[in-house]
Amino acid sequence: MFQARIVSLALALLLAGCGKYSRVALLDAGGGVQLSLWEETEWEYNRGCFLQIQLGKDIVMPMTFVGVVPNEKMSFQLYDDGAGLVAVVEKSHPHQVVGMYDKISRESWPRSGSSESYLSVQKRGLRMINRLRAAHPGSRFQLSEG
């Protein structure tokens, strides 16, 4: 009985810090679209970086894991294709797109639907990033691996 209580207490203490985040960037993409980037404030091995996209007060892409936070402070930049597509990159890796949102179709990447396959998500990401590349000739944009 005593051992069960100790295990329960240890488990409660271990999980107490999970799910706590701090916003590191709020990017205004115009038209009421905001991209928020968050990092975990408590972690075991590596801090995760998460992206959330809002249209007005509606969350159009819930907080989605987009990578691991490096030791240095992160800084982000938005790019667009001039036709409604916005993409965010972390400035220390300016060619790696960590997330995209199309204001017209309301599609996003890397978030997937509940029944969507990995291949379908990757195809959408490639279609979106090709639009971004066409708008920025000579760019070397690529999809982030997370």
Sequence-separated (6 or more) residues with CB below 8 Å from residue 48: 39, 40, 65, 67, 68, 69
- What is the average pLDDT across 90-119? 89
pLDDT tens digit sequence for 123-132 = 999 999 999 9
Taking the C-alpha atoms of residue 99 and residue 39, their distance in angstroms, rounded to an integer, is: 15
Taking the C-alpha atoms of residue 36 and residue 19, their distance in angstroms, rounded to an integer, is: 16
Which residues span the domain enclosing 51?
19-143
Name the one residue in this structure whose structure tokens are 């007060």: 57
How many domains in the chain?
1
- What is the average pLDDT across 68-95? 88
Domain assignment present for residue 128? The answer is yes
Domain assignment present for residue 35? The answer is yes
Domain assignment present for residue 14? The answer is no
DSSP 20: -
Among 45, 46, 40, 48, residue whose Cα is nearest residue 17: 40
Domain assignment present for residue 129? The answer is yes
- What is the average pLDDT across 83-103? 93
Domain assignment present for residue 68? The answer is yes
Name the one residue in this structure whose structure tokens are 């090709």: 130
Helix (H, G, I), strand (E, B) or coil at 119: helix
Domain assignment present for residue 73? The answer is yes
pLDDT range class, residue 33, cuts 50, 70, 90:
very high
